[in-house]
Amino acid sequence: MEGRSTGTKLGLQLFTHRGLSPKESIMNAKSIVKRTAPHLAWIVVCAGILVFSGASDTNKDSLPLTRNSFAKVAEKTLPAVVSLSIRQGFTEEETTKAGPQGLPDLPEEFKDFKDFWEFFRFNRPYIPEEWLEQDDDGRLWLPMAGGSGVIIRSDGYIVSNRHVVLPAIDNEKLDIEVKLQDGRQFSRDKKNLQIVAVDDLRDLAVLKIDASGLPALKWGDSDAMAIGDWVLAVGNPLDLEGTASEGIISQKHRKINKALMEDLLQITAMINPGNSGGALVNLDGELVGINMAIASNTGRWQGVGFAIPSNVAQWVTDSIIKHGKLLQGYMGVGMSPETNTRMSKQTAKYYKLPEPKGVLIDEAKEGGPAAKGGLQKGDVIVELKVGKETFPIENNQDLLEAVASQPVDTKAQVTYYRDGQKRTTTVTLVERPSFEQLKEEMKSPEERKGGVSELGLTLQEITEPIAGVRIMKIAEKSAAAKAEPIRLQPGDVITEVDDVPVKTPDDVRRILKEKGVEGQHRIKFTRQNREAVTYVAP
């Protein structure tokens, strides 16, 4: 189970894929929701959601509805929707030995929910027999999580959500099983199933099973769907396989902060945990979305669901199937956290911008497209142009989406500001590195130290692998005490002053002496492992 605080006014509680075993009740699930995140706002990602969206044509003869029935659409769709589960294998000895079994080998983000895992068997002194499933070879399996998937090609290609398969992506100890509507089962353990690739940005995954002649859904045009169009959701909510529910497109172009790139369809079709990765179809039975999440403050359906548009999912899956991985553009820039959302007035003033919009470059990676195009740290990108299409850039999300939506080798014209002057350059996009490579690039290259400084700050040298100098004290009524838009605090670690990295208090003094203590100074710092930027004006 994974989640992310959305900061919405609705107080939403959101969960990822279904973490219930087939035998657990809804009441048990509700009790765990209350224990794990009683005060948090989360997005519920419902593994295995399947939804069908209706076409906007209101001509009665064109609608496959009979006496207000969706039977024809459901009949066409159900065979192409699969059940997907993550499970862990055990020997009989392992299920009965005394002592706690501990948490399974899951990604770190899953281990934050210790109460949840404890309730669902993982910290129990033994595994009750009724929780286990036995395969034809006599091996015992413990279901851990589940969702849905959609067959998109008759030769065995299936699309689902990344979060559905996330626990097992890099963990060979965990098995993935796909069950078809006709009862056939495929698994990584049996070596007739594989994860082809995942899209870390859009929460999509493509799997391949060794089968042919399968019923597959035809892609529909999600752009053609209008607010109010009928849809049908089919999936495996609460482990109830092949469940269909109707609804409408209630809004388009939603962002819920679950994935890095989102342009979601909002739907009213009833979906619950277990639905993620399922299909959203229109009245012609065409796949117009891959269901992804629900918004709820109870952990269960409250009338708001979300699906990844088919036009996005089709582009991603076509690339993965053709190349074995997703090929998408990459510029090679590190974006400042201060332009994650709207740029502050202080940032715009410091960089001499006409308005508080754009992406501040924290780093132009050596040898990357941006560096080769002449971009450098401190530049502010405000526009990207590819051919006849122009992308206004107001924040980091805008730049990420504009670049990642382009194929490799695309030439993009970049408009940016440097020292208050508007400039342009051309960069040639390269292939985006893997998620693991990007995480490695973000690590600090060396251990750094600390010291004491000006502006009313007392600094201490540090020896941990943190880049900068730690604030020990802030003098009352000093310039540092009036920093904006974020107040500095003792314990913060300053990593840069006026875009220059600092290692010691002497570095800070030298920078202030060279640029003058008077005037506005940009302070980049770390607080509780999160980077932030503020400004000090004596």
Instruction: Please tell me the total number of residues recorded for the chain in this structure.
Output: 538
Of 116, 134, 81, 15, give the one whose Cα is nearest residue 240. Answer: 81
Q: Is 163 a catalytic residue?
A: yes
DSSP 8-state code for residue 413: E
Catalytic one among 163, 199, 319, 405? 163
- Reading the block at residue 77, the tokens are 């769709």
Residues 6+ apart with CB under 8 A from 249: 53, 225, 226, 227, 228, 229, 231, 265, 266, 267
Please confirm whether the linkage preceding 354 is cis (ω < 30° from 0).
no
The total of other beta-carbon atoms located within 10 Å of residue 129's CB is 11
Tell me how far apart the alpha carbons of residues 140 and 121 are, in angstroms, rounded to a whole number: 15
Alpha helices of 386-486 — where are they, by DSSP H?
396-404, 435-441
Tell me how far apart the alpha carbons of residues 170 and 164 are, in angstroms, rounded to a whole number: 13
The total of other beta-carbon atoms located within 10 Å of residue 393's CB is 24
Residues 6+ apart with CB under 8 A from 497: 507, 508, 511, 512, 521, 522, 523, 524
Catalytic one among 21, 276, 310, 319? 276
Q: Is 170 a catalytic residue?
A: no
Using the CB atoms, write b or e for 424-455: b if 16+ within 10 Å.
Answer: ebebebbebeeeeeeeeeeeeeeebbbbbbbb
The total of other beta-carbon atoms located within 10 Å of residue 407's CB is 13
The total of other beta-carbon atoms located within 10 Å of residue 191's CB is 9
Cβ(422)–Cβ(474) under 8 Å?
no
Helix (H, G, I), strand (E, B) or coil at 131: helix
Tell me how far apart the alpha carbons of residues 326 and 149 are, in angstroms, rounded to a whole number: 19
Tell me how far apart the alpha carbons of residues 237 and 49 are, in angstroms, rounded to a whole number: 7
**One-letter amino acid for residue 446 of the chain:** E
Q: Is 263 a catalytic residue?
A: no
Tell me how far apart the alpha carbons of residues 133 and 151 are, in angstroms, rounded to a whole number: 25
Residues 6+ apart with CB under 8 A from 96: 126, 127
Rounded to 5 degrees, what are φ and ψ at 221?
-100, 105
Catalytic one among 199, 203, 229, 492? 203
Residue with token string 């969706």: 70
Helix (H, G, I), strand (E, B) or coil at 418: strand
Residue with token string 């080769």: 372
Tell me how far apart the alpha carbons of residues 532 and 57 are, in angstroms, rounded to a whole number: 50
Tell me how far apart the alpha carbons of residues 481 and 186 are, in angstroms, rounded to a whole number: 62
Helix (H, G, I), strand (E, B) or coil at 508: helix
Instruction: Give the residue numbers annotated as catalytic, written as ranges.
Output: 163, 203, 276
